[in-house]
Structure 1
Amino acid sequence: MLDHGSACSASPIWTCTHGRLEGNLDAKYEFTFKTLVPDAMESGRLNYEGTSVITMANGARMFGQDSGYFQLHPDGSGAFETTVHIQGGTSDYSNASGRIVASGSFQRSGSAVGSYTGFICPSSDASGCNQ
């Protein structure tokens, strides 16, 4: 869910998202926008970058550098795609790397649904990781 409240104070544009991941990752997903700019080439598209924290059910966290876009529809709904580049974390994820790509749709209210694919490597050396 898109948020513009005090929980987003780490964002220079006071915008963040809060969500839940299900499936292979039973986790909370928190994203803090660093940038949100109109795409110069595609009408209705906003590109963004920021940071994320994925908190697993056991409390372990993964940290990500994210980039993606919103494609806005005239009624305020739209589509999104986000790429999370995993860059470490806590506990078993302290040296993790990998990538998660999520895509889906959102409503004017800020609620969103989608799916994700990707891989997480237990160490920063991805050479032995099953991608």
Structure 2
Amino acid sequence: MKSTVLSSETITLDPNYRIPFVIIIGGIALSLLQIILGAVVILFGIFLLIQANIIKLKFTSIALEVYRGEKNIRTFPYIEWENWEIFWQPVPILLYFKEVNSIHFIPIIFDAITLRECLEKYCKKA
């Protein structure tokens, strides 16, 4: 998957459905052993699948912006970032980043390669 370049300063990450599908398949298998727990896992996978379609991450020259549809719901200025990490290589599943006053965890339901490239470009690791 390639990400869409909106301008020379904004990169929008494409959705990646790998994690939601793996969770849904795992939930189906789990439901053969424990129906209620399997159903909960399947619902979580469906939730992530929906979020992958609704939530958009945009990297601008000054901040990571989070959109729900066309509405900007959160902005994370790079100047406030202290550190970031993508967990569990070679299958990245979780983005961690620390700002001055808060810590964030985001499931990687986006193009992981472009995500890493943007993080390395805009947010140098401490």
Q: TM-score, normalised by structure 2?
A: 0.32
Q: TM-score, normalised by structure 1?
A: 0.32
Q: Which has the higher helix share?
A: 2
Q: Which has the higher strand share?
A: 1
Q: Which has the higher contact order (CA 8 A, sep 6+)?
A: 2
Q: Considering only CA atoms, is the larger Rg found in Structure 1 or Structure 2? A: 2
